[in-house]
Amino acid sequence: MTANPITLIRAPLRWRLVRLALLFTGLTLVTWLVVAYLILPALWRRSALHHPALDGAPCICHTKDGIPGDPLNVALIAHEEELAKAMLAAGWDAADPITLRTSLRIAGGTVLRRSYTDAPVSNLYLWNRKQDLAFEQPVGNDPRRRHHVRFWRSDQLDDQGRPLWFGGATYDVCVGFSLRTGQITHHIQADVDAERAKLLDDLQKIRAIAEIRWVDDFNSQREGRNGGGDRYYTDGRLPVSLITLGN
């Protein structure tokens, strides 16, 4: 029996239509996966990093007497318990408050080179109030050297009710006399960007933060001296990130 010529023509056409339909369905599925699982979450994270507290924010803290202190070089979005949990998980200890007992203990530890992992840090001020939280990492058994960071909580909240925590991370290299007041103080390493990088790396290692938004020219003063008279320098950029540990 001879095949109908019209049927022979329609069969390839039908298969081509089927292949086109499958191709369209596949492209639609891939597009949905990319948009739903990559593009939209990335845009959401990006928009979450535009915290309202960044507008008009100060770029440096001060001593109680109003002397310029350390530059602010990190900003984290989180509820207080989330920030504390992330810092502790990253190996940073909460600093003890300044009392007579803790002051005597750090003085004795400095002389005897006895470790004090929760040693207090001096008070610095932002928005006319001292730091809300402070964390540190000791270096060996010498309390004169340590990594540390102070955090100040913003009054402004994002649409999720979270504050922005402005931080000043520095590395103490020794104890000496302040070049400005003559008081005993820790002296910092000049490269504050290196301490910023160390803090971010510690948080990234435990996946406490994901994307980082860099605010260029946040600090227009690239070099200066802090409240103890120590020289510092920075690229002026501020990293802003969202604490995601436990979320």
Q: What angle do CA 198, 205, 96 make, to 5 degrees?
A: 60
Judgement on whether residues 39 and 66 belong to the same structural domain of the protein: no
Pick the last residue of a domain from 11, 28, 48: 48
- pLDDT for the residue 100: 47
Q: How far apart are the C-alpha atoms of 192 and 26, rounded to whole Å?
A: 50
- Among the residue ranges 28-37, 146-155, 183-192, 220-229, the one predicted with the least confidence is 28-37
State which residues form the domain around 39.
1-48
Distance, CA of 151 to CA of 84 (rounded, Å): 11
> Is the confidence at residue 174, as pLDDT, over 60?
yes
> Do 145 and 76 fall within a single domain?
yes
pTM above 0.85, yes or no: no
Tell me how far apart the alpha carbons of residues 119 and 106 are, in angstroms, rounded to a whole number.
6
Query: Phi and psi (nearest 5°) for 240?
Result: -120, 130
DSSP 48: H
CA distance 208 to 224: 31
Pick the more confident residue, 50 or 75.
Answer: 75
**Same domain? 68 vs 18:** no
55 contacts 75 by C-beta, under 8 angstroms: no
Find the helix or strand (DSSP H, E) in which 164 lies. strand 163-177
Residues 148 and 196 in one domain: yes
Residue 34 shares a structural domain with residue 95:
no
pLDDT, tens digit (0-9, with 9 covering 90-100), for 7-24:
545 556 677 777 777 777
Structure tokens at 174: 């020794």
Q: Compute φ and ψ for 102, nearest 5 degrees.
A: -70, -30
Band (197; pLDDT cuts 50, 70, 90): very high
Q: Between residues 78 and 28, which one has the greater pLDDT?
A: 78
DSSP state of 54: G
Token pair listed for 135: 């964390």
User: Do 43 and 165 fall into the same domain?
Assistant: no
pLDDT confidence of 241, banded at 50, 70, 90? very high
- On whether both 41 and 109 belong to a single domain, the answer is no
CA 169 to CA 147: how far, in whole Å? 8
Average pLDDT, the chain: 81
Same domain, 20 and 59: no
Tell me the per-residue pLDDT of 102-152, one tens digit each, with 9 for 90 and over. 444 454 445 445 555 566 678 999 999 999 999 999 887 777 789 999 999
Looking at the structure, do residues 2 and 86 belong to the same domain, yes or no? no
Q: Are 17 and 41 part of one and the same domain?
A: yes
- Residue 195 has phi, psi (to 5 degrees) of -70, -35
Model pLDDT for residues 59-95, shown as the tens digit of each residue: 999 999 899 999 999 999 999 999 999 999 999 999 8
Q: Is residue 97 located within the same domain as residue 210?
A: yes
**Judgement on whether residues 213 and 178 belong to the same structural domain of the protein:** yes
Overall number of domains in the chain: 2
Provide the 10 A C-beta neighbour count for residue 153.
Answer: 20
**Residue corresponding to tokens 């949905």:** 32
Confidence at residue 144, expressed as pLDDT on a 0 to 100 scale: 76
